[in-house]
Structures are given as structure tokens and as C-alpha cells.
Amino acid sequence: QLVMGLFALAAFIGCTLEYFFTRERITEEDIHEGEEPKGEIIPTGKQLKAAAKDRYWWIIMIFYFLYQAGTMFKGGYVFNIFCNDFFKEVTVFGKAMGPESVQSILALLSGIPLAVGMLFAWPVANKMGKRNFIILGCVVSIIGSIVCLTNPASFIVMLIGQTLKGFSSIPGAYIMMALFADVLDHLEAKNGFRVDGVSMSVYSTIMTVVNGLAVAFFNLFYDGGVFSHQAVSSFFFLGFEIIAHGILIFVLLALNVEKNIEAEQKLIAERKAGKA
């Protein structure tokens, strides 16, 4: 508890420093050589009020809350417990292996699609749209989880399902932050000032808080004695993302920021040119 408390304190200090010392989005064209960028300092309350009034901003924050929770539930800690519950001893490629070895192999093989995804993520996103690509990732994630739940004690079934989930992680890993940037541009066009500072602070807080809450929530049910260990570990490792990503598909359908982003970015450029 002491160690976790120290990490939480360090995260809080880091988030605070990030907010006060992060420069708002500034392009090279806005900065003359040897000159520091000048601009109005927008109070935190004004930034937060402007952001909180925009539905796109809320959609982004809801996305990261649910997405990060799912990432934590399928992460190393819960993944290890899941493998210990379902793979006490299994024969993989003709060799008897324990849960730790099974976890390593599943993580390695199912992680390959995510690594390869960086090569085609942007061409696909440019063709079908960032939002639509992320929704597709959620759909594939749900399919992968359902495949795994058909027989979570089968290494082959788990490998197929986890590989699908590896592909499903590509949009969230490589594209979602660009969509976040589009929302920040939309807010600048709408309000006349940027809200990057407060937005990144809220984002960092969500990522930090969810990490701790996810583990605590899992342990509460796992050690509660109401449900079997296998039921709890399979739900959080596999079932949670079916619910979370199903909600995200519905929520993301309302995220139409890409529809007018080019016009809004043009408006921002015109404002900057007018101030020059």
C-alpha cells in the first residue's frame, strides 16, 4: 500500500507539472526564429468549462476510460491469474508447459498483429476514416472475446481469439490520439482558444486512476468468494471488453468531428493569419 501510495503521489505531481508546463499545440509556422510564441493564457476554469460543454470532448474521455479499463483487465496481472486458473498444465506444440509459459506464448503470438499494424494503420484510417476504423477495432475485439469465451481452457481457441484482439487494438494504439487532436482543433475553432492543457490533465488523470481502480475492482470480486475464480478471471479478462467495446461502438457513432475538421482547421489558420 505504501508503494502504491508513493506511485499515486508521483503520478499526481507529474500530471500537475504536465498541465502547468505543457505548451499548447503550436506549429513551426507560428514561431519565428529565436522568438518565443506569445498568446493569451487561458484560465483553467475557462478551458474546463469550454471542454465540458462539447459532446465530442466527453466522448473522447468516455472512450479512454472504458478502453483503458479493458486494457488493464487484460493486462499482465489479470492475464497471469487467468492463465493460472485455466492452464495449470497444458501441452503446447508437443511440450508440457505451465501457466507462465502459456501466458508468454499467448502474449508474444497475439502481440504480433499489433506490432505489424503500424505499417497499415494509417492507410486504412485514411481510406475509411479514423472513427470508422476505431469502431471496426471494437467490433473485432468483441468477436475475439466471444471466440475465447467459447472455450477459455483451450490454448488453440485462446490463441485465435487473442490474435483477433491483437488486430482490434491497432486503431486504439495508433489512431485514437489523432482523433483526440481533431477534437482539440474543433474546440479551438468553436471557442477561439485551445484547451489542450486541461484536456491532457483530465486524460492523464483517467489513465492513472483507472489503472489502480481496475486492479482493486478485480481483486474485490476475485477474493470475494461469491463467484468462482475461473468465472471472475474469465469475465474480467474476456467478458468486460464485450460490454465496454459495445458501449464504445454506440458512443463513437456520435463522434462526427471528422465531417467538418478541414473547414475548422482552415478557420483556425485564417484566424492566425489575421493576427500576424
Which three cell numbers, joined as nine digits, stand for 246?
Answer: 459495445
CA distances from 47 to 41, 44, 51, 191, 195 (A): 10, 5, 6, 9, 5
Which residues, in sequence order, are CB contacts of 161 under 8 Å at separation 6+?
144, 145, 146, 147, 148, 149, 238
Q: How far apart are CA 22 and CA 66, in angstroms?
A: 26
Confidence of residue 22 (pLDDT cuts 50, 70, 90): low
Q: pLDDT higher for 81 or 7?
A: 81
246 vs 133: CA distance, rounded Å: 15
pLDDT, residue 42, reads: 80
Do 189 and 265 touch, CB atoms closer than 8 A? yes
pLDDT > 90: percent of the chain: 59
Q: In terms of DSSP H, where are the helices of the chain?
A: 2-21, 44-52, 55-73, 76-86, 99-117, 121-128, 130-150, 155-174, 176-191, 196-222, 229-234, 240-252, 261-275
Taking residue 71's Cβ as centre, other Cβ atoms within 10 Å add up to 19
pLDDT of 212 above 90:
no
Looking at residue 17, what is its pLDDT? 64
Which percentage of the chain shows pLDDT scores above 70? 86
3-class secondary structure, 91: strand
Would you give the DSSP letter of residue 94?
A: T
Angstrom distance (rounded) from CA 1 to CA 212: 11
Tell me the helices (H) and strands (E) count for the chain, helix number first.
13, 2
186-208 residue pLDDT tens = 999 999 999 998 999 999 999 88
Residue with cell 457513432: 253
* pLDDT at position 158 over 90: yes
Q: Residues 104, 107, 110, 112: is their CA dihedral positive or negative?
A: negative
What's the predicted TM-score (pTM) here?
0.83
Amino acid in the structure at residue 65: F
Query: Cβ contacts of residue 31 below 8 Å, gap of 6+?
Result: 37
Asked if pLDDT for residue 62 goes beyond 80, the answer is yes
Gap between the Cα atoms of 138 and 256, Å rounded: 17
Phi, psi of 90 (to 5 degrees): -145, 150
